[in-house]
Chain A
Amino acid sequence: MKLCEDCHKTPAAVFLKLAVNNKVTGLHLCQACAAKKGAVYGFESGVFNASDIVGNVSDYFNDFLPRERKTLACAACGLKYSRFKETGRLGCAQCYKSFEPQLAELMARIHGFARHAGRGYAGGGAPEFSRAEASRRGEALNAAIRAAVDKEDFAAAARLRDALRELENRHG
Chain B
Amino acid sequence: MAELLKSFRPDVTWANAGGAWPDMIFSTRVRFARNLEGFAFANRAAADRLAEIRRLVFAAARESGMFPRGHYLKMEALGPLEKSFLAERHHISPVLASSVLPSGAVISNDEDLSVMINEEDHLRLQCLSAGFAIEDALRSALKLDEVLGGNLRYSFAEQFGFLTACPANAGTGIRISCLAHLPAMARLGRMPAALESLSRLGVIARGIYGEGTYVLGDFYQIANAACLGRSEEAFSRNMDKVIRNLIRQEIGARELLMKGAAKLKTEDAVFRALGVLRHARAVSYNEFMQNMSLARMGAAMGWNMGLDFSTFNQLTLLMQPAHIQAAAGRALTPAGRDAFRADYLRKKLN
Contacts and interface: CB of A to CB of B under 8 A. Distances in A.
Interface of A: 77, 79, 87-93, 96-97, 100, 103-104, 106-107, 110-121, 123-130, 132-133, 137
Interface string B165-192: 1111011101000000000000000000
B163 interface: yes
Contacts of A119: 142, 172, 231-232
A92 B60 contact: no
B302 interface: no
Contact of A127 (B56, B226, B231): B56
Nearest to A76: B40
Interface stretch (B89-97, B150-158, B242-250): B150-158
Contact of A111 (B158, B165, B171): B171
Interface stretch (B41-49, B127-135, B255-263): B41-49
B152 A127 contact: yes
Contacts, number: 134
Contacts of A120: 156
B160 A107 contact: yes
B52 A130 contact: yes
A73 to B, nearest CB: 13
Given A90-B41, A133-B52, 19 more contacts: A89-B43, A93-B41, A93-B157, A93-B163, A96-B170, A112-B202, A113-B230, A114-B159, A117-B171, A118-B161, A118-B228, A118-B230, A118-B231, A118-B232, A119-B172, A121-B156, A123-B153, A124-B151, A127-B153
A114 B167 CA distance: 11
B292 to A, nearest CB: 36
A124 to B, nearest CB: 5
Contacts of A96: 157, 159-160, 163, 170
B162 interface: yes
Q: Which of B41, B151, B227 has the most CB of A within 10 A?
A: B41
8 contacts: A90-B165, A96-B159, A111-B168, A111-B171, A113-B226, A114-B159, A115-B160, A116-B158
